[in-house]
């Protein structure tokens, strides 16, 4: 199953609205086939692994990170491919929560195959957490990513912020952009930095760029709207129609959303994003944007990068703004976190939502 996990990771950032899945076929203690899902509409991981195994699949065991699908979608059911190949035993990690696709384990067992589930559940749920979140809760997986000083400041009181962390930390940030479906910032970040919000890794792909601009006050000529790939502005329902038309002339999508306390309703935007096949959102905005997501309880994971600086100053912005909780007992708790050294910087990663609970 660990080998199947490694296979599945090859599809990260390329399979939405499907999950990344890996599969391995084992016969007499030897790996005879392996594969992963490359992108939506193409054969699933099980099919790739079975094709590689060929006749050796007969009487073998297949390990798969997600329950084989049991329905006709853009591709035939993987359960039928498993049966046709003559597989004897199926080892599954995560069950598929999608009511259209689930039931593969029961169907294979009813056909006389030996079926085991729940193997390396935590690890495999982490692999396909974007898909599991949308399938069970209708919202994309949200990662809050920020770079800050040791005292939690993202800039000096004058707004100087380049660069708090080192080159290795910035490269890691581009790795995140490569696997997340969308990246989100507020208009303040666009005005202050004029960012591209693209992935600069060789062979990488640009995420969909989402900009929060309640009144459509930004210029559609900003750099973020000129880069290759899709850009979307989330604005309020009362934003000027003339500005919307101008954005659309420049190829920018405009989503009119309801307001909540004078700001764009983030939940409404995320629900629509999930409906359009965006399973994950990387939040890279400033303190106000991060604070709004934390206040609304919408953050599932953090990636906080720390540089070897102490900035200080009451007017220097913190990484997370917003109202915040009144009591410590109400604060969002990171259930499990990891520390990673990145040359002269370090990274704290952790889950606020346990992927294994999304079943």
Q: Which residues are catalytic?
A: 46
What is the C-alpha separation between 274 and 142, in angstroms, rounded? Answer: 11
The residue among 66, 8, 16 whose CA lies nearest residue 37 is 8
> Which two structure tokens, joined as six digits, stand for 196?
């591209």
Torsion sign over Cα 334, 129, 7, 117:
positive
- State how far the alpha carbon of 306 is from the alpha carbons of 139, 143, 168, 303, in Å: 29, 16, 12, 10
In whole angstroms, what is the distance from residue 119 CA to residue 4 CA? 11
d(CA 95, CA 136) in angstroms, rounded, equals 12
């Amino acid at each position: 199953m660990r080998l199947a996990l490694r296979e599945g990771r090859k599809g990260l950032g390329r399979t939405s609205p499907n999950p990344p899945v890996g599969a391995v076929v084992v016969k007499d203690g030897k790996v005879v086939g392996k594969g992963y899902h490359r992108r939506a509409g193409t054969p699933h991981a099980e099919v790739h692994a079975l094709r590689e195994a060929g006749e050796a699949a007969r009487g073998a065991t297949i390990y798969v990170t997600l329950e084989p699908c049991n329905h006709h979608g853009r591709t035939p059911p993987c359960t039928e491919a498993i049966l046709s190949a003559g597989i004897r035993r199926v080892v599954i990690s995560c069950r598929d929560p999608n009511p259209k696709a689930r039931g593969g384990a029961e169907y294979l067992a009813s056909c006389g195959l030996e079926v085991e589930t729940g193997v390396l559940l935590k690890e495999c749920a982490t692999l396909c957490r974007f898909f599991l979140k949308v399938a069970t809760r209708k919202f994309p997986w949200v990662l809050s990513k920020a770079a800050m000083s040791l005292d939690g400041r993202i800039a000096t009181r004058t707004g100087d912020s380049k660069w708090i962390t080192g080159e290795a930390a910035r490269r890691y940030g581009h790795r995140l952009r490569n696997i997340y479906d969308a990246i989100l910032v507020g208009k303040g970040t666009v005005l202050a930095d004029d960012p591209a919000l693209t992935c600069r890794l060789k062979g990488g792909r640009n995420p969909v760029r989402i900009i929060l601009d309640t009144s459509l006050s930004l210029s559609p000529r900003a750099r973020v709207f000129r880069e290759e790939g899709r850009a979307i502005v989330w604005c309020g329902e009362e934003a000027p129609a003339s500005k919307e038309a101008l954005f659309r002339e420049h190829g920018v999508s405009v989503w009119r959303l309801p307001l909540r306390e004078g700001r764009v309703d983030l939940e409404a935007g995320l629900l629509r994003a999930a409906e359009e096949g965006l399973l994950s959102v990387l939040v890279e905005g400033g303190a106000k944007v991060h604070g709004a997501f934390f206040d609304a309880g919408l953050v599932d994971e953090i990636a906080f990068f720390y540089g070897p600086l102490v900035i200080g100053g009451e007017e220097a912005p913190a990484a997370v703004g917003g109202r915040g909780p009144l009591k410590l007992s109400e604060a969002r708790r990171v259930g499990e976190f990891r520390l990673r050294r990145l040359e002269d910087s370090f990274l704290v990663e952790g889950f606020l939502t346990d992927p294994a609970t999304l079943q």
